[in-house]
């Protein structure tokens, strides 16, 4: 801290885990602060358009400020969490304000809802990717830095995760995973995010942890088992899959005989519950990742009215692979959204579209495009599936005008 570190009054929260302030007329994105606070800041980055800064001293605290549960969360320390200094209700308020602002600014939509809490603030993350320092020890990176901070334990990590901090590693990253059925897996950088061609038994340690990320995990949702190969994608919050399945099936309002498309379907989570609802209609599960599509094919094998298509969603839509019509379309695109698929989805003239989004900015942008193509926002729910962070999951339902 320098004597020249200025004092600012903190304005509203912004998308990305920081709040907005102004210093000599210039915008400052301030981390570790709350709206309405007066704080002393240390500028960490400068550009012509804005500054980035950390709140290093709180002169007038917000009622929502609390003591951080993690001693390694704060200015210059671990970049994994954004809101450890914020109360549980305060975090919901911040997330709600972000969703509202993005919808209003990018789509001209007014949302009167509130982001919903899901589970506890700590001990929830079932998948953690650790970075490995030059000395081979695992840790987490400082905010906007490649520096690896030694972390003896992480308070948001699930307590049943395999430990990675008691040994050295040869790879630059290692992912620790625990499934909802209690399986434990460690994946090194070579296999993180990879879905292997065939099931290969990993090296099993004495505690039952599979090493090398080559095994198949079993996740369970509403009593149904799902195969997820290697370090393949699955929701990181233990209550996320159930929460999203319930929200999506309610929003989709699928009817018997409907033709349903589940786009960016992953291992077939939503497909498995939408297919019985539309029977004797047809459900098509579409996924561009080869291994995830193979997982979906196995996970849906018992559903006679469900089929899988392995192809990038945008390509499958453009080529007409998915047919000329659909009654219901569900999409769960990556963080960047579904910009290149929106027009083709609307062209199918579905009765209802359900959009699952992990980025409110991408969601708002795509909702604005859907609106131009004749689809209005019917309902939207937000879920705090990543406590202590700025990330929020939304489920939006669209209907034809």
Check pLDDT > 80 for residue 202. no
The response to whether 171 counts as a known ligand-binding position is no
**Residue 364 vs residues 111, 215, 358, 361, 384: alpha-carbon distances, Å:** 11, 38, 11, 5, 18
Which whole number is the average pLDDT over 206-217?
54
If you write DSSP's letter for every residue of 328-350 in order, what string do you get?
EEEE---TT--TTTHHHHHHT--
Q: Is 94 helix (H, G, I), strand (E, B) or coil?
A: helix
Percent of the chain with pLDDT over 90: 89
- The per-residue pLDDT of the chain, averaged, comes to 93
The response to whether 355 counts as a known ligand-binding position is no
Whether 7-65 and 97-119+237-400 share one fold: the answer is: no
How confident is the model at residue 191, as a pLDDT? 58
Check pLDDT > 90 for residue 210. no
Check pLDDT > 90 for residue 220. yes
Cβ neighbourhood burial of 166 (10 Å; 0-12, 13-18, 19+):
exposed
Q: What is the pLDDT of residues 352-381, one digit of tens each?
A: 999 999 999 999 999 999 999 999 999 999
Q: Is 4 helix (H, G, I), strand (E, B) or coil?
A: coil
According to CATH, the superfamily of the domain at 97-119+237-400 is Vaccinia Virus protein VP39 (3.40.50.150)
The response to whether 375 counts as a known ligand-binding position is no
358 belongs to the catalytic site:
yes
Closest CA to 10 of 57, 73, 68: 57
Q: What is the pLDDT of residues 292-343, one digit of tens each?
A: 999 999 999 999 999 999 999 999 999 999 999 999 999 999 999 999 999 9
For residues 326 and 401, give the distance between their C-alpha atoms in angstroms, rounded to a whole number. Answer: 16
Q: What is the pLDDT of residues 36-66, one digit of tens each?
A: 999 999 999 999 899 999 999 999 999 999 9
Whether the CB-CB separation of 100 and 368 falls below 8 Å is answered with no
Domain coordinates in residue numbering, the chain? 7-65, 97-119+237-400, 127-229
Check pLDDT > 80 for residue 198. no
In 10 A of CB 93, how many CB atoms? Answer: 18
Strand order in the sheet with 116-117: 116-117, 375-384, 393-400, 352-357, 328-331, 259-263, 282-287, 306-310
In 10 A of CB 144, how many CB atoms? Answer: 11
Task: Name the active-site residue from 70, 78, 154, 358.
Answer: 358
Question: 7-65, what's its fold?
Answer: OB fold (Dihydrolipoamide Acetyltransferase, E2P) (2.40.50)
In 10 A of CB 197, how many CB atoms? Answer: 10
The response to whether 264 counts as a known ligand-binding position is yes
Confidence of residue 192 (pLDDT cuts 50, 70, 90): low
pTM of the model: 0.93
């Amino acid at each position: 801290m320098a004597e020249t570190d200025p004092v600012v009054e903190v304005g509203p929260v912004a998308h990305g885990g920081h709040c907005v302030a102004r210093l000599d007329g210039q915008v400052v994105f301030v981390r570790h602060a709350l709206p309405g606070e007066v704080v002393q800041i240390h500028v960490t980055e400068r550009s012509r358009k804005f500054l980035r800064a950390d709140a290093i001293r709180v002169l007038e605290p917000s009622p929502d400020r609390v003591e951080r549960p993690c001693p390694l969360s704060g200015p210059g320390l671990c970049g994994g969490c954004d809101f450890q200094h914020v109360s549980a209700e305060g975090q919901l308020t911040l997330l709600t304000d972000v969703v509202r602002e993005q919808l209003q600014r990018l789509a001209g939509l007014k949302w009167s809802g509130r982001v919903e809490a899901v589970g506890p603030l700590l001990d929830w993350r079932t998948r953690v990717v650790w970075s490995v320092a030059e000395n081979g020890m695992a840790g987490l990176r400082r905010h906007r830095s490649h520096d690896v901070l030694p972390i003896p334990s992480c308070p948001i990590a699930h307590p049943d995760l395999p430990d990675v901090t008691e040994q050295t590693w040869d790879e630059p990253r290692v992912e620790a995973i625990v499934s909802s059925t209690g399986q434990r897996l460690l994946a090194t950088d070579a296999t993180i995010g990879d879905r292997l061609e065939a099931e290969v038994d990993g090296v099993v340690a004495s505690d039952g942890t599979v090493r090398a990320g080559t095994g198949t995990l079993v996740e369970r949702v509403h009593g149904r088992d799902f195969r997820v190969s290697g370090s393949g994608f699955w929701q990181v919050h233990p209550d996320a899959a159930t929460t999203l399945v319930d929200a999506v099936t309610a929003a989709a309002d699928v009817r018997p005989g409907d033709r349903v498309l589940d786009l960016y379907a992953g291992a077939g989570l939503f497909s498995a519950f939408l297919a019985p609802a539309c029977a004797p209609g047809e459900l098509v599960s579409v996924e561009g990742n080869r291994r995830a599509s193979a997982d979906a094919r196995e996970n849906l094998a018992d559903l006679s009215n469900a089929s899988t298509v392995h192809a990038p969603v945008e390509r499958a839509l453009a080529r007409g692979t998915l047919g000329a019509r659909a009654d219901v379309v569900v999409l769960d695109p990556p963080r960047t959204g579904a910009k290149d698929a929106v027009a083709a989805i609307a062209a199918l003239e579905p009765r209802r579209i359900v959009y699952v989004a992990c980025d409110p900015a991408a969601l708002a942008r795509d909702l604005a495009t859907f609106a131009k193509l004749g689809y209005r926002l019917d309902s939207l729910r937000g879920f705090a599936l990543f406590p202590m962070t700025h990330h929020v999951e939304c489920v939006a339902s669209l209907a034809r005008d």
